Chain A
């Protein structure tokens, strides 16, 4: 009996030794391991995987991808668990806390994409009602957008809770007879307006660019009042609703790196800093990933192959 137990132990030990000895030899290169963070939406998948493939193929880096949510990722960078994020939509409190005060995260420039947020309607509706080109045309016609939840008012579909939005106050400020209906996260909101779009019904909703669906559906933006000095966008600040009565600002999307990564001297730092592409580029790759359901690595490689000049600029060539 003891011999058999012993045999079992010996076998287990042998297996264990074989395992520990069998790790692949580390690739000796100047780059090492880089950890990029990817957000849930397709645009973020697009830019993260393009940079990942550039780093892997051209610099021989080993790239890991984390998927931490937009706000906790700053703590992840502060702890060195994530090296860089490639798309930030203006999280000013986090900039103040981690970049300015703690200095654990540093800026890495803009990623070339301009975020546009606004009020959108389907283009077929715009054609039927050309007066909807500006918000003034909505006055008196709000009941066109009625839904079971909005009673006698028209329904305004709010955006994902994680997105910057001020529509509740804006509706009040513009004096429109609309009810702000929050339909939840983006997939849920898309479900709502997609169904109405497919039935060719009227729908008014919060939407933005870059977004891969903009290439699939024809949507038109409603012009909101021009921006004026002192215009507010953060609903949490409260105050006079009239101060919010202006269009959303355009967002220059920014990149951030952990201090640790930025001072590491890795060649990847330069690539991340120089990475920059257009809204159209991001939407193209995002459509391949989310619209055509292509594997993200394949979509990225396809775009890289067709845009060698841009990629070389990032590599500093």
Chain B
């Protein structure tokens, strides 16, 4: 089968003319829209008679109702249940935090390093040790441990819920179809929009922070696990069934082990997503490094950078250790003899004693206060501050290069594009986009596009949504241009992978505001910082998924192509990439979702529009405004997703 596939792709390329005419049609539609823009500019905005203006007020009343019924002396069972869950999570995180504090720095470091050493090997243990030392050296030990406790709880629950659901989605097409829109919503709707209801239901504190993080971190766990399960070759599963394996046996002994690499990616992404929520979690009492970043942005940007670095270090250390432990405990590689097992147990006992000693030493020397006297924090802050002073100085040569570039891009590129989207007559925009959707993906996506745009118009979000759409399109296109080639390159070259991996980890977890605010000093214009934030946050996801997909392509297909005399490039272009199509399309989908997820951050650095409305909605308790702006973001996401994924979905359904 693999041979036939490879042969088919090499022998008969799709007819060129058909593509050309479709692209031509799309271009014609765009030209039509541009003509409409110049002809009827700003004259046909979404008619007020089609809008439901009081929706915002209804939503505000709902939140008030929720709050009033929550804060009575005897709340109903509904609220008591949420209260109970919140208390459970608060206590769990609180218990973990006080455990770390009671163990002192010495004890916690010893425990962490020795656990990783025992289960993960020397290299991972060294990394863990470096991480713990860096937290203390930056003077951020307490905050780091609070965040660590929060992360452990969030990642633990995310995986506990996400992995099984992901397996289910991998095995059942119906479940996957049902759950995908829910996952899209969970990832696209900005946390800012549902922060207040979460606070009302779960109060303020680590519990609410865990719930907020869960909502964001579970979808990647589910999606990537499902992708991994589906990636297991059907012949292998058939062979297992032929040998008499039950469904559970097939799952546990065939599918999961073969999906191992994807499962590891799933764990990695869950960790990174959970840590990227640390700052938002801080707004509702998550405590820890998120708080340091937020107040640092206003009073001490250098400290915010240090806290950001701590978050990144924690992410990388956690990811590398879990990966090392997963690899070490791989049953395929286990070969412990009786003697080795006995020695290992003795070794573990020794470790426990060592930890106990470390704790004792820690208490004896009151390691907490020792570290606060000897931390390198002031020195580090001075270094970072001088770097920041250089960046913020408009008299440097860098500024004289970046400032004009930024002004040019906005004046002649982004601002005209924004005007086009906002001021084009709404019929031209709606039907133009719908026609393009029809051409690219089919009838159903076109209908979805019309519905979504109507929702945006009816909720009175047309202007802001079109503004955001112009920026999101630019950011998404740039992300694909950057991400897909880099992903393919990473799949082909192990060295590129090694170099890129820490960079991608940093980009996924470093709080965006920490690096975007200094960037604004270099390019003081609107829109550009938001777009850059989107591209930098979304590309790593695209790169990783594309890389994983291309690497997973069956080696038999590659061999077959080789046998036919294909060069490496031909194999890549005609065999690997088409066979990795599903992973690449998931990469496109996730990349676009990540760009939308960063719209609120964009609003905080000058992108305005929906992002700003959502942020303002939370901070000024305008629940209705926040929800409607978020729904508009979600509507844009669904429309864009259906347009890009439309044809692929139909194929999957045909197979079901």
A interface with B by C-beta (< 8 Å): 1, 4-5, 7-8, 11-12, 14-15, 18-19, 22-23, 38, 40-42, 45, 66-73, 75-76, 78-79, 81-82, 91, 93-94, 97-98, 101-102, 104, 147-149, 151, 161-162, 181-188, 191-192, 194-196, 198-199, 212, 236, 286, 289-290, 293
Contact B203 A42, beta carbon cutoff 8 Å: no
Query: A191–B519 Cα gap in the complex (Å)?
Result: 9
- Interface-central residue, A1, A67, A104, A151, by most chain B CB under 10 Å: A67
Query: A308–B406 Cα gap in the complex (Å)?
Result: 51
B interface size (C-beta, 8 A): 78
Tell yes or no: B287 within 8 A of A by CB: yes
Tell yes or no: B525 within 8 A of A by CB: yes
Known A67-B287, A148-B525: A45·B606 in contact at CB below 8 Å: no
Nearest CB in chain B: distance from A121 CB, A: 17
> Residue on A with the closest CB to B56?
A236
Known A68-B285, A71-B196: A195·B67 in contact at CB below 8 Å: no
Stretch in B125-133, B423-431, B612-620 touching the partner = B612-620
Contact A161 B524, beta carbon cutoff 8 Å: no
Query: A38–B607 Cα gap in the complex (Å)?
Result: 28
Nearest CB in chain B: distance from A248 CB, A: 15
Contact A66 B604, beta carbon cutoff 8 Å: no
Tell yes or no: B637 within 8 A of A by CB: no
Query: A190–B308 Cα gap in the complex (Å)?
Result: 21
Interface members, chain B 363-396 (any A CB < 8 Å): 363, 381, 385, 392-395
Contact B393 A8, beta carbon cutoff 8 Å: no
Question: Within the complex, which residue of A41, A75, A194 is in contact with B299, where a contact is CB–CB below 8 Å?
Answer: A41
Query: A132–B492 Cα gap in the complex (Å)?
Result: 63
Contact A185 B605, beta carbon cutoff 8 Å: yes
A194 proximity list for chain B (CB < 8 A): 392, 521
Contact A19 B619, beta carbon cutoff 8 Å: no
Known A71-B620, A184-B604, A194-B392: A290·B298 in contact at CB below 8 Å: yes
In the complex, 23 of the A-B residue pairs with CB atoms within 8 angstroms, ordered by the A residue number, are A4-B345, A8-B348, A11-B356, A19-B102, A22-B363, A68-B283, A69-B283, A69-B284, A69-B619, A75-B67, A81-B285, A94-B621, A97-B64, A148-B410, A161-B619, A182-B608, A184-B607, A188-B516, A188-B520, A188-B604, A188-B605, A192-B524, A212-B299
Interface members, chain B 192-213 (any A CB < 8 Å): 195-196, 199-200, 203-205
A192 proximity list for chain B (CB < 8 A): 520, 524, 606
> Residue on B with the closest CB to A15?
B356
Query: A181–B608 Cα gap in the complex (Å)?
Result: 8
Known A75-B67, A187-B301: A93·B621 in contact at CB below 8 Å: yes
Nearest CB in chain B: distance from A229 CB, A: 25
Question: Within the complex, which residue of A38, A147, A151, A161 is in contact with B295, where a contact is CB–CB below 8 Å?
Answer: A38
B392 proximity list for chain A (CB < 8 A): 191, 194-195
Interface members, chain B 18-68 (any A CB < 8 Å): 64, 67-68
B252 proximity list for chain A (CB < 8 A): none
Contact B195 A72, beta carbon cutoff 8 Å: yes
A8 proximity list for chain B (CB < 8 A): 345, 348-349, 352
Query: A298–B529 Cα gap in the complex (Å)?
Result: 35
> Residue on A with the closest CB to B613?
A161
A183 proximity list for chain B (CB < 8 A): 526, 605-606
Nearest CB in chain A: distance from B474 CB, A: 15
Contact B524 A11, beta carbon cutoff 8 Å: no
Tell yes or no: B71 within 8 A of A by CB: yes
Contact B356 A69, beta carbon cutoff 8 Å: no
> Residue on A with the closest CB to B611?
A184
Tell yes or no: B411 within 8 A of A by CB: yes
Known A79-B204, A195-B394: A97·B284 in contact at CB below 8 Å: no
Known A7-B349, A72-B195, A93-B621: A149·B415 in contact at CB below 8 Å: yes
A290 proximity list for chain B (CB < 8 A): 298-300
Query: A183–B603 Cα gap in the complex (Å)?
Result: 8
Contact A151 B415, beta carbon cutoff 8 Å: yes
Contact A102 B299, beta carbon cutoff 8 Å: no
B605 proximity list for chain A (CB < 8 A): 183-185, 188
Nearest CB in chain A: distance from B321 CB, A: 21
